[in-house]
Structure 1
C-alpha cells in the first residue's frame, strides 16, 4: 500500500503527466507534490483545485437523485457522491480523484496531463487504482 510519496511517483508514470499533487480540499493545502504546476506555484494550484473539488463534493447538484451531501450514509452508499472531476483546457487535462478513507476524508489526487501526449482514459483508471490503495497517515 503506497504512501503519499510513492503515490505521487506512480502518478508521474502516467503517459503525459506534467505534475501531480495530493491535496486536502477543506484547507486547500498540498500534502505532497511532484513535477510541474500550472503557474509554477504548488500552493496556489492546490488552493484553486481544492475550491473546485469542494464545490463538486459539497453541492447537492452532484449528489445521486434524492440525496444530499452527508446523507449518503443513510442510503447505504459509501463516501462522497463524486468520484472524480475532469477539467479540460486547451493545453491539458486536470484530473482530480477523490480518496475514500475509513475516516472523514477530504483528500484528492490531482494529476495535470499534457493534452497531446496524455491519455485521459488511462489516467482515470490509474488514478482510481492509486486512490484506492493510498495509505494516509
Structure 2
C-alpha cells in the first residue's frame, strides 16, 4: 500500500502525465505534488481544483439516488420522497455492493471528475477513507500523449491502495 509520495510517483509513470497532486478538498491544501503545474504554482492549482471537487461533492445533483424508487422528492441526498411502498429487499445493493442504505459509504457520491481542455485532461479522483474522505488525486494529463481510459483505471486502483498517514 503506497503512501502519498509513492502514489504520485506511480501516477507520473502514466503516458502523458504532466503533473499530479494529492489534495484535501475541504482546505484546498496540497498534501503532495510532483511534476509540473498548469499555472506554475502547485498550491494555487490545489486550491483551484479543490473548488471543483467541493462543488461536485457537495451538490445534490450528484448525490446518490433515493433507494425508495418513488417520485416527488427533490433528489437531495438522504431524502426518501416518493410514494409509500414496500421497503427494498435486504441484501447488497447492485450498484454499490454494500448495505441498502441511502448513503452506503462514508465518502462522496462521486468517483471522479474529468475536465477537458484544448491540450489536456484534468482528472480528480476521490479517495475513500474511513474517516472523512476529503482527499482526491489530481492528474494533469497531456491530451495528445495520454490515454484517458488507462489513466482513469490506474487512478482508481491507486486511490483504493493509497495510505494516508
Q: TM-score range by the shorter chain?
A: over 0.9
User: Gaps (5+ residues) in structure 2?
Assistant: 67-74, 80-98
Aligned length in residues: 136
Q: Which has the larger Rg?
A: 2
Q: Confirm or deny that 1:103 pairs with 2:118.
A: no
Partner Cα distance (2:26, 2:64) in 1: 22
**1:89 aligned residue (117, 120, 141):** 117
**1:77 aligned residue (94, 104, 110):** 104
Partner Cα distance (2:26, 2:116) in 1: 23
Structure 1 residue runs of 4 or more that deviate by more than 4 Å after TM superposition? none
CA RMSD in angstroms, aligned pairs only: 1.6
Closer, same or farther: CA 6–41 of 1 in aligned 2, 3 Å: same
TM-score where L is the length of structure 2: 0.79
Aligned to 2:152: 124
Q: Give the structure with the larger strand fraction.
A: 1
User: Gaps (5+ residues) in structure 1?
Assistant: none
Q: Confirm or deny that 1:41 pairs with 2:41.
A: yes
Partner Cα distance (1:127, 1:13) in 2: 11
Post-superposition shift, 1:10? 0.3
